[in-house]
Amino acid sequence: MKTPALIYSLFFALTLSLTAADKPNFVIIFTDDQGYGDLSCFGGTHVSTPRIDQMAKEGQRLTSFYVAAPVCTPSRAALMTGSYPKRVNMATGSNFGVLLAGDSKGLNPEEITIAEVLKSAGYKTGMFGKWHLGDQLEFLPTRQGFDEYYGIPFSHDIHPFHPNQKKHKFPPLALLDQETVIEMDPDADYLTKNLTERAVAFIEKNKDDPFFLYVPHPIPHKPLHVSPPFMEDVPQEIKDKLKQEGDKIDYNTRNKIFRQAIDEIDWSVGEILDSLKKHKVDENTLVIFLSDNGPAVGKAGPLKGRKGSTFEGGMREPTVIRWPGKIPAGKENTELMTAMDLLPTFAKLAGASIPSDRVIDGKDIWPVLVEEARTPHQAFFYHRGNDLQAVRSGKWKLHVGKRQNPTALFDLDKDIGEKTNVLADNAGVATRLLEHITTFEADLKANSRPAAFVENPKPLAK
C-alpha cells in the first residue's frame, strides 16, 4: 500500500515557489459514451448544447483529442495514471472487456493518480460520478487520492435489469458516499442531477483552497435516464412506454431520449461554470469537457467507428477546454492531444512533480494550448483490449493486423472519416509508422506495471 511518506517525499518534491493563490483549480467533466458529433459546437444537429457551446467560444475546441481506449475501464485508467492502459495492465477486466461487479482486479493502489499528484501540491480533491477502476475497498477513489467521493463503482447497466442478466447475474447497483454504500439500485433518473449538486457543493466548500474536481457522468451510456424537468418535451407515447417498464428496462425506448440526456449534461456543465463564477474562482479555474469513448447511441459525426472501435469514432472525443485569460478564446486547436496528457500538464501548472520511477506516456500540452506549439507526441497508439490495432503520427494513421501487418493507411488531414485507403501508394510512410509500433511495443515490454488483485472479491452491498 502507498504511504504518505512514499507519495510526498519520494515522488513529488513540491515546487514551493507557487503559493496557494497561484495554483489554479482544475475541473474535468467526463461523460460516458458521448460521440464526436454529440455536441452542437462539433456539428451535432440532433442535440442542443448551448452552455458547452459558450464554453467553446470562451475557450478552445480540441478537435484531435483522444482517449487511450474505446471502452470505459481502460480509458479511465489512462486518464487517472497518464499511462496507456496496457502499460498498467488495465486494458481489460479480469475476464471481460471492462471491470464487472465483484471483480478481483482493479487499478493498482501503487499507481500514482492525477488526484494524488495534485494532493501532493496541497489540492483538495473530489470525485462525483462513475469510477469503473475496481469496486473492492482497496480500489475505491478514496484509496486513490480523492478526499471526497460520491457515485457508482461502474456503469449503471451493471445491475439486475441488464438485458443479458441470465448470463451475467449482476447484483444490485451500489451508490457510495465515501466508502459507504448508502443505497442499492438508486433511481438512475436522478444521477446527473445529484452528481451535479454534489460537485457544486464541493466548489463552494473549497473555494478558498486549490481544488481538483472530477465529474465522470454515467450518462449517456445506455440505458438513458434523465430527471423529470428534462422529460417535459418527450412525446407522451414514450413516457407511457417508460411507465410500463416494471422490473425490466426498455432500452429501445430509452434510446429515444438521447437528446434530453445531452440536455441535462449541458445543464450540468452550466451549473458547474455558474458556481465557479458565483464563488469568484472562474478566472483561476481550468475546465475541460470530454467523453470516455465513442458513442453507443449517439453520433460520431464525420468519423468512422463507434464505441469499441479503433477507428477515429471510437477514440477521438468532442473536447472543449476553457480558462479565461489564460487559454486563448474562440479557437479550434487541431493538434493531437490525449487524456493522458492531463496529469503532467496539471502537475506543471500546480507546481507538482510527476513520478520519476515509472514511464508516464502523457506529455505536457500547455504550450500546445497557449503558444500554438506542435503536439509533443511523435506517435499515438490505438488499442482494443491488449491488441494494438493502429498508430497515428502526424497526419498519417496506419491500421495493422494481429501480426502487425499493415492493413490500411489514411491521411487524416484529407480523410477524417477513414474512407480512402492509401496504403498502396505510401509504403514508405507505412514502414515509418511500423517502426513507431516496434519501438513502443519494446518499451511496453520493458516498462509495464501490474494491476492489483484481491482474493475472494465480493459485490458491494448495503
Our answer to whether residue 72 is catalytic in this structure is: yes
Amino acid at 246: G
Set of cell numbers at residue 292:
470516455
Q: Residue 34 in 3-state DSSP?
A: coil
Our answer to whether residue 41 is catalytic in this structure is: no
The pLDDT of 76-104, averaged and rounded, is: 97
pLDDT at 22 (0 to 100): 85
Does a structural domain hold residue 192? Answer: yes
Let me know: does 214 contact 126? Beta carbons within 8 Å.
Answer: yes
d(C-alpha 103, C-alpha 154), whole Å: 11
The pLDDT of 205-227, averaged and rounded, is: 98
Give the CATH number of the domain where residue 181 resides.
3.40.720.10
Whole-angstrom Cα Rg for the chain = 21
pLDDT at 164 (0 to 100): 87
Does a structural domain hold residue 186? Answer: yes
Does a structural domain hold residue 454? Answer: no
d(C-alpha 68, C-alpha 317), whole Å: 11
Q: Which of 41, 46, 72, 156 is catalytic?
A: 72
pTM higher than 0.75, yes or no?
A: yes
pLDDT band at 247 (very low <50, low <70, confident <90, very high): confident
What is the domain extent for residue 261?
A: 4-379
Q: Which of 41, 46, 132, 162 is catalytic?
A: 132
d(C-alpha 305, C-alpha 318), whole Å: 14
**Given CA atoms 423, 428, 429, 433 in this order, what sign does their dihedral have?**
positive
Percentage of residues in the chain having pLDDT higher than 90: 92
Q: Look at residue 73 and tell me whether its pLDDT is greater than 80.
A: yes
The 10s digit of each residue's pLDDT in 324-367 is 999 999 999 999 999 999 999 999 999 999 999 999 999 999 99
Closest alpha carbon to 359 in 148, 138, 104, 78: 78
Does a structural domain hold residue 390? Answer: no
pLDDT at 20 (0 to 100): 67
Q: Look at residue 217 and tell me whether its pLDDT is greater than 80.
A: yes
Residues 6 or more apart in contact with residue 92 via CB below 8 angstroms:
73, 74, 98, 385, 386
Does a structural domain hold residue 32? Answer: yes
Does a structural domain hold residue 434? Answer: no
What is the average pLDDT value for the chain, to the nearest integer? 95
Does a structural domain hold residue 388? Answer: no
Does a structural domain hold residue 439? Answer: no
Q: Residue 290 in 3-state DSSP?
A: strand
- How many domains in the chain? 1
Long-range Cβ contacts of 237-245 (<8 Å, 24+ apart): none
Percentage of residues in the chain having pLDDT higher than 70: 96
Q: Look at residue 452 and tell me whether its pLDDT is greater than 70.
A: yes
d(C-alpha 109, C-alpha 145), whole Å: 10
Q: Look at residue 14 and tell me whether its pLDDT is greater than 60.
A: no
